[in-house]
């Protein structure tokens, strides 16, 4: 197995950071390939909790090399801050982190425009993380972006910032927002150069070489299948392809390099931000899930919306990504909650649907539930499959039956040790 991809199968925050950390001991190179600092990946080691936004979660393992690939949108100020925070927490990453010269830069006006566009959308706001993600990917697609490699030629960089900044300020003014000072934007970005210069390289060439040398590479997806700009609940999505295809394009590795796709799903479902959520709960059950699961955003601190596991959406995510194995996360959160349920299919205008619909039909879904019963206490009770309580085993069997993917990992807590590998 030389190249594996790990993707979120829901609306993000599935527990990708934990699983990447657990896998990183058997992986040499961990790559972020899409998204930006909208991601918040949590790794808990002993009494230390690290939240990673741009740096791959695998770097907590000291022998690994982290790569921020060409498909990531990079806020240079945030990246330097994150590297320094990790160093302060005893994780030295500088000499084993590479940053793609092709990655696009998130600059001051991208963040200002993210806010301005959300305000302009009013009641239709998407609930973005305000990290400048949409405006940066828009600039990339409209071919007016500024890339990490441009930082290495400060004079040309400053000229480009003046040019683009002038245009963006006209847009900000039209939306009734204050301009950003292009000189300050350029200064701020260039101040990161001393820290970032040693990291900037052609990561595509590096990864192709590593692959040719059969080194074990893990592509760490950010966000999740249902936030994918093509396959997700558009327009309530992020601006990148969180799909496994985005991980390939965003790293430069060819599709045939991929040996294995691991999908990550919670044993229930959450979503942060606006948009359809067919299995969403209301009232005390939702609050109970949020409290037990500590469902508050790792990037923005916002409360996450909570609901039952949605097998229609999960099957769609597994099939579109070609997922081989599933890591089922946060199953401990369901212990003691009372009888748990899953959504087995949808009813839309009286018709049964097993395929995940696009667009406005999602707003009209009546979820059809199957109650599985309560999950008995088992946390800390060993680490073999047979020790899982019956209702949890039923849930695993149902997921495997619906998705045809194997549930190879059941996570029963945030710690590394709270991970059950199914043989
Ligand atoms: P990511 O964005 O997919 O990496 O997920 P986040 O880090 O945003 O959110 C997952 C949260 O759940 C983090 O606080 C993790 O520490 C925590 N977590 C991960 N796995 C488990 C688990 O099996 N049980 C519990 N109780 N918490 C978990
Ligand atoms: P990780 O990698 C959960 C959501 C935002 C919003 C929508 C668009 O930690 O799983 P954006 O700022 O990307 O333009 O916001 O996408 N979102 C996430 N939700 N986890 C994430 O990342 C997310 N990244 C973006 O809440 O609804
Ligand atoms: Mg997260």
Q: Are residues 219 and 166 in the same domain?
A: no
Q: Tell me, what CATH number does 122's domain have?
A: 1.10.300.10
Query: For this structure, is 355 an active site residue?
Result: no
Q: Are residues 278 and 339 in the same domain?
A: yes
Q: Quick one: which ligand is closest to 132's CA?
A: 2
Residue 298 CB neighbours (<10 A): 19
Q: Are residues 414 and 281 in the same domain?
A: yes
Cα angle value 406/338/395 (rounded, 5°)? 10
What totals of helices (H) and strands (E) does the chain contain, helices first?
12, 19
User: Which pTM value belongs to this model?
Assistant: 0.97
Q: Are residues 230 and 89 in the same domain?
A: yes
Q: Are residues 397 and 279 in the same domain?
A: yes
Phi, psi of 279 (to 5 degrees): -100, 15
Strand pairing class (419-421; 3-8): unpaired
Residue from 13, 21, 150, 332 carrying the catalytic annotation: 13
Please give the pLDDT value at position 338: 95
pLDDT tens digits, residue range 311-367? Answer: 999 999 999 999 999 999 999 999 999 999 999 999 999 999 999 999 889 999 999
Q: Are residues 378 and 231 in the same domain?
A: no
Residue from 21, 41, 114, 177 carrying the catalytic annotation: 41
Phi, psi of 153 (to 5 degrees): -120, 80
Of 261, 288, 312, which residue constitutes the final position of a domain?
261
Report CA(294)–ligand 1 centroid distance (Å). Answer: 9
Number of domains into which the chain is organized: 3
Q: Are residues 171 and 212 in the same domain?
A: no
Dist. CA 235–CA 208, nearest whole Å: 34
Q: Quick one: which ligand is closest to 223's CA?
A: 2
In this structure, what is the dihedral angle of CA atoms 286, 287, 289, 291, given to the nearest 10 degrees?
160
Please give the pLDDT value at position 419: 93
Q: Are residues 186 and 223 in the same domain?
A: no
Of 145, 175, 193, which residue constitutes the final position of a domain?
193
* Residue 52 parent element (H or E): strand 48-52
Dist. CA 303–CA 410, nearest whole Å: 25
Q: Tell me, what CATH number does 18's domain have?
A: 3.40.440.10
Q: Are residues 256 and 278 in the same domain?
A: no
Instruction: Work out whether the CA dihedral 163, 168, 174, 180 comes out positive or negative.
Output: negative
Report CA(144)–ligand 1 centroid distance (Å). Answer: 36
Number of Cα atoms under 13 Å in the Cβ half of residue 253: 34
Q: Quick one: which ligand is closest to 410's CA?
A: 1
Q: Are residues 271 and 407 in the same domain?
A: yes
Report CA(47)–ligand 1 centroid distance (Å). Answer: 15
Strand pairing class (325-329; 200-201): unpaired
Q: Tell me, what CATH number does 375's domain have?
A: 3.90.170.10
Report CA(347)–ligand 2 centroid distance (Å). Answer: 28
Of 242, 261, 280, which residue constitutes the final position of a domain?
261
Atom 28 of ligand 1, residue of closest alpha carbon:
414
Q: Are residues 203 and 77 in the same domain?
A: yes
Q: Are residues 369 and 286 in the same domain?
A: yes
Mark the ranges of the chain whose per-residue pLDDT is less than 70.
1, 379-386
Domain that holds residue 339: 265-421
Please give the pLDDT value at position 144: 96
Please give the pLDDT value at position 337: 94
Query: For this structure, is 230 an active site residue?
Result: no
């Amino acid at each position: 197995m030389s190249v594996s991809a790990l993707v979120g199968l829901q609306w993000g925050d599935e527990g990708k950071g934990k699983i990447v950390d657990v896998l990183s001991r058997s992986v040499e190179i961990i790559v972020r390939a899409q998204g930006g600092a909208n991601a918040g990946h949590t790794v808990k080691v002993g009494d230390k909790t690290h939240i990673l936004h741009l740096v791959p979660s695998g770097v907590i393992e000291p022998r690994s090399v982290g790569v921020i690939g060409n498909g990531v949108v990079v806020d240079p100020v945030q990246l330097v801050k994150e590297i320094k925070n990790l160093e302060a927490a005893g994780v030295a990453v500088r000499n084993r982190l590479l940053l793609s010269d092709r990655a696009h830069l998130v600059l001051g006006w991208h963040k200002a425009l993210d806010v301005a566009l959300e305000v302009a959308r009013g009641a239709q706001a998407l609930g973005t993380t305000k990290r400048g993600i949409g405006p940066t990917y828009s600039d990339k697609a409209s071919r007016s972006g500024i890339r990490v490699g441009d930082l290495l030629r400060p004079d040309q960089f400053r000229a480009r910032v003046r040019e683009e900044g002038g245009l963006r300020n006209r847009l900000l003014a039209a939306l009734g927002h204050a301009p950003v000072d292009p000189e300050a934007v350029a200064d701020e970005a260039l101040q990161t150069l001393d820290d970032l210069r040693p990291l900037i390289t052609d990561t595509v060439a590096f990864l192709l070489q590593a692959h040719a040398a059969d080194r074990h590479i893990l592509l760490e997806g950010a966000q999740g299948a249902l936030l994918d700009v093509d396959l997700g609940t558009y327009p309530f999505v992020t601006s990148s392809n969180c799909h496994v295809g985005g991980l390939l394009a965003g790293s430069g590795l060819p599709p045939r390099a991929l040996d294995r796709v691991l999908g990550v799903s919670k044993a229930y479902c959450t979503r942060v931000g606006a948009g359809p959520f067919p299995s969403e709960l209301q009232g005390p059950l939702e609050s109970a899930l949020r409290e037990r699961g500590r469902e508050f955003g790792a990037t923005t601190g916002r409360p996450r919306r909570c609901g039952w596991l949605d097998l229609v959406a999960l099957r769609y995510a597994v099939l579109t990504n070609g997922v081989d194995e599933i890591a089922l996360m946060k199953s401990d959160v369901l212990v003691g909650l009372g009888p748990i349920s899953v959504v087995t299919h949808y009813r839309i205008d009286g018709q049964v649907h097993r395929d995940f619909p696009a667009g406005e039909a999602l707003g009209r879904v009546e979820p059809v539930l199957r109650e599985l019963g309560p999950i008995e206490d088992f946390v800390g009770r060993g680490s073999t499959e047979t020790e899982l309580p019956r209702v949890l085993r039923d849930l695993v069997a149902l997921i495997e039956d619906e998705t045809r993917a194997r549930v190879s990992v059941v996570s029963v807590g945030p710690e590394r040790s709270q991970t059950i590998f199914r043989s």
